Amino acid sequence: MKPLRAAFVVCFALVASSLATTYKVPEDDTVATINAPAGWKANNYDKGIELTSDDGEVYIAIEATDAKGVERSMDEAMAYLKNKGVTVDAKTVKQNEGKLSGKDAVMISWDGEDEDGPARVQLMVVSVTNEKGVLFLYWASPEGEKKHQKEISAIAESLKKT
């Protein structure tokens, strides 16, 4: 009986370690929620939340935006990247429109660089209501993006309107 109990404890520990934590975006006057993988660092700020992978290879900021203020929010995101030493190669820009969890979404991506070398940069705006949206900004090393692709996708797909 003891080996069975030990196996149960190990299985439970593995499941518990992979559980995600739900965060409000933003904490006050919440527009949506997202789930972050266990082990990722989270930091709330006035408009949303910042997430960093456990190995520091992926940074994601998720914030609420007004439908009328999307362009301003995107400009602020690009200024934030510049302030953090992240540059994008305008020649590599790709834009896609589609759906994310049934909501209209626009995604813009670039190749770029940060202080550690090559980086992938993405900006995505998802309509939550007619008046509100959520802006996802992330940058990652190419290796980090590849390694954490499932987690990055799971974070985006976990978006739920409140």
Q: Which residues contact 12 (CB under 8 A, 6 or more apart)?
A: none
Q: What residues make up the domain containing 148?
A: 20-161
Q: 11 or 148: whose pLDDT is higher?
A: 148
Give the HSE-up count for residue 85: Cα atoms under 13 Å, Cβ half-sphere: 5
Q: Give the integer Cα–Cα distance in Å for 51 and 62.
A: 8
Read off the pLDDT band of 19 (50, 70, 90).
Answer: low
Q: Tell me the mean pLDDT in the region 126-132.
A: 91
Task: Report the percent of the chain where pLDDT is more than 90.
Answer: 71
Residue 72 placed within a domain: yes
Residue 45 placed within a domain: yes
Residue 15 placed within a domain: no
Residue 124 placed within a domain: yes
Residue 78 placed within a domain: yes
Please state the pTM of the whole predicted model: 0.84
| Total domains, the chain | 1
Q: Which CATH number fits the domain that encloses residue 48? A: 3.40.1000.10
Residue 8 placed within a domain: no
Read off the pLDDT band of 13 (50, 70, 90).
Answer: very low
Residue 56 placed within a domain: yes
Lowest mean pLDDT among 19-23, 32-36, 43-47, 96-100: 19-23
